[in-house]
């Protein structure tokens, strides 16, 4: 069975029983460990990644000039996070070849490759944390670029309890497809464009169609029975 990036790094770094490891330089990411190599960012060790949920991950940028990561170590187990990032295999298989629902792309570069996103960016739902009770609709395919942006938007929402306004995207006619800007536990993320852009679009079609139908009925009624316009509004 193919090892995950976390398992490969654990094998290379050899953390002790308390989760502490040696410093591992990026130039060690060769041979069987070449999958760990990255140029920019830290894709497999970012916040809320599998390894970040298990360990306290420390990076060092002082070895070479610039702001790139030079080496990495594990600084003990992360006792703060209890959310399990694991996504069940059948769900991963279902989404892995689909296009990003935000950008409509699926590429091979760092920013265009598709990741499977937890729709609920707060990641505090025990049912979704449990792979046995996860559902397809709990996830969506996002390009890395879109997923990185969504992650920051969800972080701000968690800090402020103010949900992201879909009108930030020019052309979107409604702020939310359900609820308003205020985050509540009762509604959760439901209604936010970032949570489900596909459902947002479907709901917009229905709402706009209903508005257009209502306008058409009123206009026809006004032409046929102009003296009874008030009667229409009373119905």
Beta bridge partners of 141: 116
Could you tell me if residue 127 is inside a domain? yes
**Residue in 99, 102, 103, 127 with CA at minimum distance from that of residue 188:** 127
Picking from 45, 77, 109, the residue at the C-terminal end of a domain is 77
Q: How many CB atoms lie within 10 A of CB 1?
A: 4
Whether residues 104 and 37 fall in one domain: no
* Rounded mean pLDDT, 85-102: 94
**Residue in 150, 151, 140, 144 with CA at minimum distance from that of residue 114:** 144
Could you tell me if residue 197 is inside a domain? no
Whether residues 110 and 147 fall in one domain: yes
Instruction: Report pLDDT digits (tens) over 138-162.
Output: 999 999 999 999 999 999 999 999 9
**Residue in 49, 120, 115 with CA at minimum distance from that of residue 86:** 49
Could you tell me if residue 170 is inside a domain? no
- Give the up-direction half-sphere exposure of residue 19: CA atoms within 13 A in the CB hemisphere: 15
Could you tell me if residue 195 is inside a domain? no
**Residue in 99, 178, 171, 113 with CA at minimum distance from that of residue 141:** 99
Picking from 19, 53, 77, the residue at the C-terminal end of a domain is 77
User: What's the chain's length in residues?
Assistant: 235
Picking from 60, 77, 94, the residue at the C-terminal end of a domain is 77
Q: How many CB atoms lie within 10 A of CB 53?
A: 19
Whether residues 93 and 156 fall in one domain: yes
Q: What is the CA radius of gyration of the chain?
A: 24
Q: What is the DSSP letter of 106?
A: -
Report the alpha-carbon distance of residue 121 to residue 86 in Å, rounded.
Answer: 14
State the average pLDDT for the chain. Answer: 91
Could you tell me if residue 165 is inside a domain? no
Whether residues 35 and 94 fall in one domain: no
Residue 156 has a pLDDT of 94
Whether residues 73 and 126 fall in one domain: no
pTM: 0.64
Could you tell me if residue 34 is inside a domain? yes
Report the alpha-carbon distance of residue 149 to residue 194 in Å, rounded.
Answer: 10
Residue 184 has a pLDDT of 93
Domain range for 229 is 206-234
Instruction: Report pLDDT digits (tens) over 168-221.
Output: 999 999 999 999 999 998 999 999 999 999 999 999 999 999 999 999 988 888
Question: In sequence order, which ranges of the chain are alpha helices (DSSP H)?
Answer: 5-13, 50-54, 89-95, 126-129, 144-160, 197-224, 229-234
Report the alpha-carbon distance of residue 157 to residue 150 in Å, rounded.
Answer: 10
Could you tell me if residue 169 is inside a domain? no
Q: Which residue has tokens 């070849």? A: 97
Could you tell me if residue 15 is inside a domain? yes
Tell me how many domains the chain contains. Answer: 3
Whether residues 89 and 150 fall in one domain: yes
Report the alpha-carbon distance of residue 8 to residue 13 in Å, rounded.
Answer: 9
SS3 category, 172: coil
Whether residues 33 and 51 fall in one domain: yes
């Amino acid at each position: 069975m193919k090892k995950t990036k976390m398992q490969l790094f654990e094998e290379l770094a050899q953390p002790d029983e308390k989760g502490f490891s040696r410093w591992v330089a990026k130039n060690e990411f060769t041979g069987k460990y070449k999958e760990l190599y990255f140029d920019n960012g830290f894709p497999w060790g970012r916040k809320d990644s599998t390894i970040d949920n298990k360990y306290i991950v420390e990076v060092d940028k002082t070895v070479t000039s610039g702001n790139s990561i030079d080496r990495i170590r594990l600084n003990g187990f992360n006792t703060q996070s209890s959310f399990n990032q694991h996504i069940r295999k059948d769900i991963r298989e279902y989404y892995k070849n689909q296009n990003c629902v935000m950008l409509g792309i699926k590429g091979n570069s760092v920013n265009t490759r598709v990741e499977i996103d937890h729709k609920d960016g707060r990641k505090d739902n025990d049912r979704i944390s449990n792979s046995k009770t996860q559902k397809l609709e709990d996830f969506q395919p996002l390009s890395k670029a879109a997923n990185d942006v969504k992650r920051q938007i969800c972080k701000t929402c968690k800090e402020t309890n103010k949900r992201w306004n879909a009108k930030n995207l020019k052309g979107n006619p409604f702020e939310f497809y359900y609820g308003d800007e205020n985050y509540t536990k009762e509604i959760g993320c439901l209604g936010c464009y970032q949570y489900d852009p596909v459902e947002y679009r479907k709901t917009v079609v229905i709402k706009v169609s209903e508005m257009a139908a209502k306008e058409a009925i009123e206009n026809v009624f006004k032409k046929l029975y102009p003296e009874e316009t008030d009667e229409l509004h009373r119905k």
